[in-house]
Amino acid sequence: MGETFDVITAAYPSTGPAEHDFDALVRLVKDRTVRSEGVILVEHDLDGQVRVTQTGDHLGRKGLGWGGGVGLAHSIGHGAAG
């Protein structure tokens, strides 16, 4: 049987609290308090445009490319808009 993964999403009314929680989660990953394959912060504007604003990897490093995870975040964002 293959590995399973949980995808956790959260919605915020503004970017400030989302950025704060993103940074806190990346620190927890870096400190090995929690385990993660990656963290993505996505913004969804009033025009329906979705963009990835920050990423973090499984070692708690920010700003690294994320490939498939970005596609997943984009799909989730468009699904939520519909």
Domain locations in the chain as residue ranges: 15-81
Average pLDDT over residues 13-22: 92
Instruction: List, in order, residues 6 or more apart from 58 with CB less than 8 Å away.
Output: 29, 35, 36, 37, 38
pLDDT at 48: 85
pLDDT band at residue 19, thresholds of 50, 70 and 90?
A: very high
pLDDT at 27: 92
pLDDT at residue 76 tops 60: no
Instruction: List, in order, residues 6 or more apart from 70 with CB less than 8 Å away.
Output: 40, 52, 55
Q: What is the pTM of this model?
A: 0.69
Fill in the amino acid letter for 16. G
d(CA 30, CA 60): 4
